[in-house]
Amino acid sequence: MRILSGVQPSGKLHLGNFFGAMKQHIEAQEREECFIFIANYHALTTIQDADRLRALTRDVALDYLALGLDPAKACLFRQSDVPEVTELAWILSTVTGKGLLERAVSFKDKTAKGLSASMGLFCYPILQAADILIYHSDVVPVGKDQVQHIEMTADMAGYFNNTYKCEVFKLPQARLNEAAIVPGVDGEKMSKSYGNTLDLFDDAKSAKKKIMSIKTDSTPVEEPKDPTTCNIFALLKLFASKDEIAEWDARYRKGGMGYGDAKKRLAEFFEEKFGPARERRATLEKDPSYAEDVLASGGKKARAVAQGVMAKVRDACGIVIHH
C-alpha cells in the first residue's frame, strides 16, 4: 500500500494541520510505504515572495522532522524536486473538462475569501491530481476539506485511462482520521487564513495565552455545561485518553466547573505534546544542511518513481522526448 500526502508551505502549521493531516502521515510510516511532500508549486497560488517561500518550505521540512517523521522510514521531499508533475498536470488538463474544476468547492471558498482567481488557483486540483497519480498512490490521508480533490483525482485518472484505452493510472482513495475538522480559538474551522490558529511551534507562553483566550459561552461556573458544543472540549478530545474524556464530559454536565479549568488542562496537554518537538526542532535548525539533505535524497527517490510512471504516460499518449 503506497500512502502519499502533501502540505503547502503557505504559513505556520497549526493544530488543525496536525490532527487533520500530519499526525496520520507520521503514524503511517510505521506500517506503510509513505511519500510526504511539501507542495511548493501549489503555494505559489498564495505566496509570491521568493525568500518567504524558500523559508516556509524549509520550515515545513523541519516541522515534520521535529514531529517525528523519520526519513529512514518515510520519503520526505519537495514537490519541485520532481518537475515531471507539472508536465503531468498539463497532460491531465487536456483530458479534463472545465466543468469538473468549476465544481471545486475550495476554489469558490478561496476566492470568496479574497484570493486572486488566477488560472493556477483554478487548476490547483489538476496539479494535485498529478502529485497523486505520478507515484501510483493508493491512499491519500487528508483532512475533510480535501476529499473532493481526491475524488476529482480519481475522475482524472479515469478520463486518461479511458481516452487512451490503457490502465496507466491507479484510482486513489482519500483516508480521513477521526478529527475531521479541528475548531480554532473562535470556534470556526481552524485555518491560517482565519487568524484563529494554535500554532504547533509557538513558544509555551504564547501558546498558553492563545489557549486561555479560546471563546466559550458565558454559562456561570456553578451551572451544568454542554460539552458537545464547547470548543475547548473538542480540542481536549484530541489529546486526552478515553477515560479522561469521560471524566471531563461528566464534570461539564454536573456543573461547578469553570471553563478556565478545561483550558488549563488543554494548555498542559499542548505543552506535553509539542514542547519536546519544539526542542528537537531547535536542535535540527542548528544544522542548516540537515533538512536540505533529507529533502534532496527524498526527492531523488520520488523522482525515480515518477519518471517510471511518466514514461508510461508519454508512451500512452504519443509524446516523444529525446533522452
User: With CB cut-offs between 5 and 8 Å by kind, which of ligand TRP, ligand ADP, none does residue 20 bind?
Assistant: ligand ADP
Phi, psi of 297 (to 5 degrees): -75, -35
Instruction: Look up 192 and say whether it is catalytic.
Output: yes
Per rule CB under 6 A, is residue 7 in the interface with ligand ADP? yes
User: With CB cut-offs between 5 and 8 Å by kind, which of ligand ADP, ligand TRP, none does residue 67 bind?
Assistant: none
Q: How far is the CB of 278 from ligand ADP (least distance, A)?
A: 20
Quick one: which segment of 5-13, 191-199, 294-302, 310-318 binds ligand TRP (CB under 6 A)? Answer: 5-13
Quick one: which segment of 4-12, 107-115, 211-219, 255-263 binds ligand TRP (CB under 6 A)? Answer: 4-12
CA distance 95 to 163: 7
Give the closest residue to 26 by CA, choosing from 59, 58, 74, 83.
74
Cell 506500517 belongs to 31
- 153 to 182: interface string for ligand ADP, x by CB under 6 A: ----------------------------xx
Instruction: Look up 73 and say whether it is catalytic.
Output: no
Quick one: which segment of 24-32, 140-148, 209-217, 274-282 binds ligand ADP (CB under 6 A)? Answer: 140-148
Q: At what angle do helices 259-285 and 231-239 cross, to 10 degrees?
A: 50
CA distance 112 to 126: 20
Cell 498512490 belongs to 137
Residue 57 · residue 139 · CB < 8 Å: no
Per rule CB under 6 A, is residue 6 in the interface with ligand TRP? yes
CA distance 278 to 227: 30
User: With CB cut-offs between 5 and 8 Å by kind, which of ligand ADP, ligand TRP, none does residue 39 bind?
Assistant: ligand TRP
- 187 to 226: interface string for ligand ADP, x by CB under 6 A: --xxxxx---------------------------------
Q: How far is the CB of 317 from ligand ADP (least distance, A)?
A: 30
Instruction: Look up 300 and say whether it is catalytic.
Output: no
Q: Which of 23, 189, 237, 301 is catalytic?
A: 189
Among 33, 87, 145, 271, indicate the residue that binds ligand ADP (CB under 6 A): 145
Considering the complex, state which of residue 129 and residue 294 has its C-beta at the smaller distance from ligand TRP.
129
- For residue 189, the cross-strand partners are 183
| Number of alpha carbons in the 13 Å side-chain half-sphere of residue 287 | 11
Measured at the CA of 142, the angle between CA 141 and CA 145, to 5 degrees, comes to: 155
- 122 to 141: interface string for ligand TRP, x by CB under 6 A: ------x--xx-------x-
Q: How far is the CB of 86 from ligand ADP (least distance, A)?
A: 20
Binding stretches for ligand TRP (CB under 6 A): 4-8, 39, 42, 128, 131-132, 140, 142, 146, 149
The residues carrying an active-site annotation are 110, 189, 192
Binding site for ligand ADP (CB under 6 A): 7-8, 10, 16-17, 20-21, 142-143, 145-146, 181-182, 189-193
